Chains A and B, each alone.
Chain A
Amino acid sequence: MSWLLILLPLLGSFVIIVSPGRLAKQLALVTSLVVLGVSVAAAFVFDGWGRGTWELTSSVEWVKEWGLVLQVGADSVSLILVLLTTFLMPLAILGSFNAIKSRTKEYYGWLLGLQAAMTGVFLAQDLVLFYVCFEFTLVPMFFIIAIWGSKNRAHASVKFLIYTFTGSLITLAGFLTLAWSYAQANGGDWSFEISALTNHAVSALSLHEQAWLLLALLIGFGVKVPLFPVHTWLPLAHTEAPTAGSVVLAGVLLKLGTYGLYRFVLPMCPEAVVEWAPFVAILSIIGILYAALICWVQTDVKKLIAYSSVSHLGFCVLGLFALNPMGVEGSILYMINHGLSTGALFFLIGMMYERYHTRDMGELGGLARTMPIWATFMVFFVLASVGLPGLNGFVSEFLCLIATFTAGGSGAYPGVLGPWYAAIAALGMVLAAMYLLIMVGKVVFGPTKATLRHDEQSGLPVDLTVREITVLVPLAVGCIVLGIQPDLIIDNTATAVADTLAVYQDIFEESMPGAAAFVDTSLPGGAR
């Protein structure tokens, strides 16, 4: 089933390339819906909900000499991210029906190829397969930006590709060094199996070696996330990418970075992480505030949302490095939530752009009057993004921050961050409200600008079409459902997260004896 999830989109992509161009979008939609169906079916047969096990596994022997075995499988965290991918993809395809008018075959082909690669990243249990998929995601995105992007697309696409490529090459070197160390320890037998390498890394690497591994991984994944100060490719890529490109970029591609941090950095180099978590946390906090302030002075709506991604993902990384279950759960939720709400915002901006051909806040204004449905959705998703309780963004942000806050080190809740980290990061909440509401105030509300002309040639009515509403409604439903039932994800991933963090419990217990025991007996929270 895992293979099906990876290969079906590839097959669809192939079919689209060889079939006549006018069928491309329908075929793409059907394929992505089928994949969605398969993923939902996979979720039903999946046995690992609420348990930390790997299910749906399958492996193919490949190159014996290098220990290359193509292994796929999913634990609850990866399956959830796969579901996010398969959920977003039909929407991305449906959302591009009107926007993409040239070279449609290639476009939908690349989109499906991208889906295959992203799914592959989440399902890979083998480092080489992971890396191949991780890198291959760049190619479709490169083409999507470079061919269907806006004015400055060539520069943006090349920068996007080379920046992330450079980062991940260093990560590759880190991976290979780890694999070599494993091979040395195992009498020259190479293996790239993630679990084997993780065990090896935890048990055999010294603190010094772990720190280097951490650095190598952090460079690759940090660029992808993107962490301050290696974020500058993102605003450019987002601004130039076509709508669906931005949606997938924000929705899933950035999550590859945080997923990498979760899957590799946390389990593989725990001691180094404990040592360096404050450093990463400070970077994320700088990113949160710095990007938020930059958002404030943007005039291009899309660029604003792009920078807001930098800011938001900072919370996500912060949660991970809080090194406690709340933070990691919050971070996983953040991955999903950011995908839904920011993805939707990019859709909305795209829909507006198709009608008015501008994204300049100085030229826009009072769209609530002309496009009430659009405006409603816009405000809704902005609120989800701001973190209004009851909607999805809140839960994840809250968990990340409370986890950071409590990860203070003395007593009940061990960790290496602390209240100051959370307090400063929480300023990002205020700033987020500021820049997003200023944007809403300028674009959605206010007097309708007389100069703003709806483009008749676009073939779109003034307000949203049924197709466009169909794109947005599932996202909105997702936002609400995850806002009031985050347990859907938290409960199901709890054990997997606990397994990942188990090694930290040992470390903390060693360095702060008696820390965890305290919670058990005395506090109501610990009593259950």
Chain B
Amino acid sequence: MIDVTLQLARIVQAMPPVPASEVLHVSGQWWIGFILWCPLISLVLCGLCAACRVKSKLPAWITVFSLAISFVLTLLLAFMDTPPERVELFKWINVHWDGGSFVANFAFYIDSLTILWMSFVTGLGALIALYASEYMEPDVGRGYARFFAGISAFLFAMICLVMGDNLLMLYLGWEGVGFASYWLIGYYYQKPEAVAAAKKAFIVNRIGDLGLALAIYLIWSTFGTIQYNELITVLDAGTYLPVYENWSVQAIPYLLMLAAFGKSAQLPLYVWLPDAMEGPTPVSALIHAATMVTAGVYLIARMYPFFLLAPESLHVVAWVGGLTALLAATIGMAQYDIKRIFAYSTISQLGYMFLGLGVLTTYGAAYHVFTHAFFKAVLFLTCGAIMHGFAGQLDLRKISGLRRMKGWRIVSWTMFIGCLCLAGFPLTSGYFSKDAILAEAFVSQGPGFEVLGWMAIFTAFLTAYYTFRVWCRVCAGEVRCEPGDEHHGDDHDAGTHGGEFHPHAPRFAINIVLLLIAAGALLAAVPYFMGNEVEHVAGGWVADMVHDSTAAEGVPGHPEHPASALHGAEAHHGSILGMDPHVAMYWISACVGGLGLLLAFWLHLWRRQDADRLRSWLLSRFWTRWLPVAMENKWYVDEVYHAFIRAPLWLFGHIFYAIDRYIIDGLFVDGTARLPRLLARCFQPLQNGMLQSYAVTMAGGAVLIALLMLLMLQFFTGGAVS
């Protein structure tokens, strides 16, 4: 219990907060707004195209063009290298009253973290839109414009999320991307699975949004503002008052966590992401792999100071991340649908990122977000190309030897690059970014962090295995394929020309995008070696970017990094097997990755029958039978949710409806309404038509009234007549 008066005295004495204008220069760079407006304009134009039933690729070009402009502007912003900056666009919600106000304007808050995120969001957005211009070709004139409108809407929302100046802008983007995701997952709206998946995504995300909303309420109650710059000022000055006893500050990180776990598909809210693969593949690549799902990481990075107020919350983040990574990897191992495997892999990699956040390396998490965006995009896009070419076939048992087919070389080799990165093959981008996280798990002190570290290493092994399981099955081996039975587009019959199936290989747009992004995936290792303008901080350009932002305290080596604060700036190194974790980790993860890769090559390329044999061996043992079954059935998490959340609520719905109809309406309302009638029936026999009966009743009634009068008189006046 905080002594309120003391607190008040402290607050009154505290320095008034520094006006915002002194910390941040509110510049009027007129073109900054266009980063946001471009997708919006594109959205409107695509909408118009849809309304006018444009039968050309116009919407795609509009989108690609406008996203490209956004990207260029973002780069411009990055090169200007400005200090944190606020750009106000227009007023949104302002409630002022005597003694306070609630302000949330449409404004940008631009620091290096923003730019880091914006760079890959807009860049990949433009590229994937280009890819989709070809991928969605069969739908020209039908859903084409709708699709690109969705992409534009997504980018608009994502930019709001990343660039927003306050938590409400973030919330706008947060729900906006959720909606865009709903829109695009449900793109094939005639497919019940797609509709269900879209719905599930939106609803599960809403649960996360609930956490964000509550966090915003709590932050505003405690700090009196939701603008980042002011929040940081108040936080630094320590002039906030935990309104609700002392739990308000402690609760903020947990609520934010709920939001982040929803959006970034972590335990226990990850279930929507695999289903979201019902959407067109470019959507999976852009939204459900590269950008949107990293919003949770962004949120925690952005609000890192709040997590540091309650450091235990970070331990939770770490554990949830680690467990999710492991769980998703085990499920991914046992799936046959390529896209699903990559979906689980995304969940798993996101788990790494949260692990990174939890073990106090925002830089590691951010770097992994950055690299993951590229290589996972590549993987999904190659998936898309396969799907596009094989009429929706995604079962890795049904396609083989892709790299030897005509026109599929670029696809299979870019996929190989993506797989290498994902598996953390030495010297690829994924290798460095994963190391930054894994090593820090051994450095940071926390409950069971070492176990967590080893778990993550084991997960890395699984990752390498399932990644190359896909590649070996699909791209290598004998040449064989069966077309899928699904058609994309509304209901056109692409690919099946008169019974004989010809896979159609990707053309220019898809190939060029694949090459560009694959190059990006490889080059994403470069920032690790460049930059480092800041002292004490290793990790290159990304570390610099994070260091200049609100998440700076999570960068190892930062003077206010909790570990540094504890042990001094230099002495934050822990150890793994008696070595410096960062050094050791290079070797360990290289070995582990290599092992996984070899296992995959063995089971799925060289001796494919061994894989089946292993499976049937596992199935035949009573003690191990559950393992493959459970893994293939995704550990029955969906079923558990259905049984423990959805079904009870549904039941409650029915019970309440019954209560509403029969008890509240039937018994109380209609029953009350029936009372007068019932009463009337009691009195009706008096009206029997007999003259003398009336006379008796009248006289009797008179006597009754007289008696009643006496009784009431007794009651009211105690019997005194007058």
Asked whether any CB of A lies within 8 Å of a CB of B in the complex, the reply is: yes
In this complex, what residue of B is CB-closest to A438? Answer: B199
B699 at the binding interface (Cβ < 8 Å): no
A111 at the binding interface (Cβ < 8 Å): no
Per-residue interface assignment for chain B, residues 72 to 111, with 1 indicating a CB less than 8 Å from any chain A CB and 0 otherwise? 0000000000000000001111111111111100100000
Query: In the bound complex, do residue A522 and residue B221 qualify as a contact, i.e. CB atoms below 8 Å apart?
Result: no
Query: In the bound complex, do residue A487 and residue B92 qualify as a contact, i.e. CB atoms below 8 Å apart?
Result: yes
Also in contact, A514 and B650, with CB within 8 A (given A388-B179, A446-B195): no
Query: In the bound complex, do residue A402 and residue B102 qualify as a contact, i.e. CB atoms below 8 Å apart?
Result: yes
B190 at the binding interface (Cβ < 8 Å): yes
Interface residues of A in 90-123 (CB under 8 A from B): none
A447 at the binding interface (Cβ < 8 Å): yes
A252 at the binding interface (Cβ < 8 Å): no
Q: Across the interface, which residues of A come within 8 angstroms of B91, CB to CB?
A: 485, 487
Number of A residues near B (Cβ < 8 Å) is 80
Question: Given A395, A444, A524, which contacts B233 in the complex, CB threshold below 8 Å?
Answer: A524
Interface residues of B in 189-203 (CB under 8 A from A): 189-192, 195-196, 198-199, 202-203
Query: In the bound complex, do residue B657 and residue A294 qualify as a contact, i.e. CB atoms below 8 Å apart?
Result: yes
Stretch in A19-27, A277-285, A424-432 touching the partner? A424-432
Query: In the bound complex, do residue B172 and residue A389 qualify as a contact, i.e. CB atoms below 8 Å apart?
Result: yes
Query: In the bound complex, do residue A527 and residue B16 qualify as a contact, i.e. CB atoms below 8 Å apart?
Result: yes
Query: In the bound complex, do residue B203 and residue A430 qualify as a contact, i.e. CB atoms below 8 Å apart?
Result: yes
Also in contact, A405 and B218, with CB within 8 A (given A294-B660, A399-B95, A525-B224): yes
Across chains A and B, the number of contacting residue pairs, with CB separation under 8 Å, is 228
B240 at the binding interface (Cβ < 8 Å): yes
A448 at the binding interface (Cβ < 8 Å): yes
Query: In the bound complex, do residue A366 and residue B98 qualify as a contact, i.e. CB atoms below 8 Å apart?
Result: no
Q: Across the interface, which residues of A come within 8 angstroms of B168, CB to CB?
A: 389, 398
Q: Chain A CB within 10 Å — which of B4, B199, B230, B239 has the most?
A: B199
Also in contact, A429 and B234, with CB within 8 A (given A297-B653, A419-B218): no
Per-residue interface assignment for chain A, residues 443 to 480, with 1 indicating a CB less than 8 Å from any chain B CB and 0 otherwise? 01111100000000000000000000000000000000
In this complex, what residue of A is CB-closest to B171? Answer: A389
Question: Given A486, A491, A523, which contacts B224 in the complex, CB threshold below 8 Å?
Answer: A523
Also in contact, A293 and B240, with CB within 8 A (given A388-B179, A524-B233): no
In the bound assembly, the distance between CA atoms of A32 and B292 in angstroms comes to: 47
In the bound assembly, the distance between CA atoms of A397 and B209 in angstroms comes to: 13
Query: In the bound complex, do residue A405 and residue B217 qualify as a contact, i.e. CB atoms below 8 Å apart?
Result: yes
Q: Chain A CB within 10 Å — which of B17, B98, B243 has the most?
A: B243
A362 at the binding interface (Cβ < 8 Å): no
In the bound assembly, the distance between CA atoms of A159 and B182 in angstroms comes to: 40
Also in contact, A406 and B650, with CB within 8 A (given A525-B100, A526-B224): no
Also in contact, A399 and B656, with CB within 8 A (given A297-B650, A422-B214, A524-B17): no
B206 at the binding interface (Cβ < 8 Å): yes
For the complex formed, measure the closest distance between the CB of B224 and the CB atoms of chain A, giving whole angstroms. 3
Also in contact, A487 and B94, with CB within 8 A (given A293-B649, A523-B223): yes
Interface residues of A in 283-329 (CB under 8 A from B): 290, 293-298, 324-326, 329
Query: In the bound complex, do residue A162 and residue B649 qualify as a contact, i.e. CB atoms below 8 Å apart?
Result: no
Question: Given B8, B203, B216, B223, which contacts A514 in the complex, CB threshold below 8 Å?
Answer: B8
Q: Across the interface, which residues of B come within 8 angstroms of A412, CB to CB?
A: 100, 221, 224, 241, 243
Query: In the bound complex, do residue A526 and residue B99 qualify as a contact, i.e. CB atoms below 8 Å apart?
Result: yes
Query: In the bound complex, do residue A521 and residue B189 qualify as a contact, i.e. CB atoms below 8 Å apart?
Result: no
Interface residues of B in 5-26 (CB under 8 A from A): 8, 11-12, 14, 16-17, 20
Query: In the bound complex, do residue A411 and residue B243 qualify as a contact, i.e. CB atoms below 8 Å apart?
Result: yes
For the complex formed, measure the closest distance between the CB of B112 and the CB atoms of chain A, giving whole angstroms. 23
Also in contact, A437 and B199, with CB within 8 A (given A326-B95, A399-B95): yes
Also in contact, A525 and B11, with CB within 8 A (given A406-B221, A408-B243): no
Q: Across the interface, which residues of B come within 8 angstroms of A490, CB to CB?
A: 93-95
Question: Given B182, B203, B207, B213, which contacts A401 in the complex, CB threshold below 8 Å?
Answer: B213
Question: Given B97, B189, B217, which contacts A446 in the complex, CB threshold below 8 Å?
Answer: B189
Query: In the bound complex, do residue A445 and residue B14 qualify as a contact, i.e. CB atoms below 8 Å apart?
Result: no
A195 at the binding interface (Cβ < 8 Å): no
Stretch in B333-341, B467-475, B663-671 touching the partner? B663-671
Per-residue interface assignment for chain A, residues 379 to 421, with 1 indicating a CB less than 8 Å from any chain B CB and 0 otherwise? 0000100001110001100110110011010111100001100
In the bound assembly, the distance between CA atoms of A438 and B176 in angstroms comes to: 19
In the bound assembly, the distance between CA atoms of A487 and B490 in angstroms comes to: 42
B429 at the binding interface (Cβ < 8 Å): no
B450 at the binding interface (Cβ < 8 Å): no
Query: In the bound complex, do residue A528 and residue B101 qualify as a contact, i.e. CB atoms below 8 Å apart?
Result: yes
In the bound assembly, the distance between CA atoms of A172 and B459 in angstroms comes to: 71
In this complex, what residue of A is CB-closest to B18? Answer: A524
Also in contact, A368 and B206, with CB within 8 A (given A486-B93, A521-B12, A528-B96): no
A520 at the binding interface (Cβ < 8 Å): yes
B511 at the binding interface (Cβ < 8 Å): no
Query: In the bound complex, do residue B217 and residue A419 qualify as a contact, i.e. CB atoms below 8 Å apart?
Result: yes
Also in contact, A232 and B664, with CB within 8 A (given A441-B199, A518-B8, A524-B230): yes
Q: Across the interface, which residues of A come within 8 angstroms of B649, CB to CB?
A: 293, 296
In this complex, what residue of B is CB-closest to A232? Answer: B665
In the bound assembly, the distance between CA atoms of A408 and B192 in angstroms comes to: 45
For the complex formed, measure the closest distance between the CB of B646 and the CB atoms of chain A, giving whole angstroms. 9
A163 at the binding interface (Cβ < 8 Å): yes
A200 at the binding interface (Cβ < 8 Å): no
In the bound assembly, the distance between CA atoms of A399 and B202 in angstroms comes to: 22
Also in contact, A413 and B221, with CB within 8 A (given A418-B244, A487-B94, A528-B96): yes
Q: Across the interface, which residues of A come within 8 angstroms of B216, CB to CB?
A: 402
Question: Given A429, A434, A441, A521, which contacts B213 in the complex, CB threshold below 8 Å?
Answer: A429
In the bound assembly, the distance between CA atoms of A418 and B218 in angstroms comes to: 11
B463 at the binding interface (Cβ < 8 Å): no
Q: Across the interface, which residues of B come within 8 angstroms of A440, CB to CB?
A: 199
Which B residues are closer than 8 A to A by beta carbons?
Answer: 4, 8, 11-12, 14, 16-17, 20, 90-103, 106, 168, 171-172, 174-176, 179, 182, 186, 189-192, 195-196, 198-199, 202-203, 206-207, 209-210, 213-214, 216-218, 220-221, 223-225, 227, 230, 233-234, 239-241, 243-245, 490, 649-650, 652-654, 656-657, 660, 664-665, 668-669, 673
Offer 28 A-B interface pairs, CB within 8 angstroms, sorted by A: A290-B656, A294-B653, A389-B168, A398-B213, A401-B217, A406-B220, A408-B244, A419-B244, A430-B203, A437-B202, A446-B190, A486-B92, A487-B93, A490-B95, A494-B97, A498-B98, A514-B8, A516-B98, A519-B99, A522-B12, A522-B240, A524-B17, A524-B225, A524-B230, A525-B223, A526-B99, A526-B100, A527-B17
Contacts A296-B653, A389-B174, A440-B199 known; 9 new A-B pairs at CB < 8 A: A395-B93, A426-B214, A427-B210, A430-B203, A430-B210, A441-B198, A441-B199, A494-B96, A528-B96
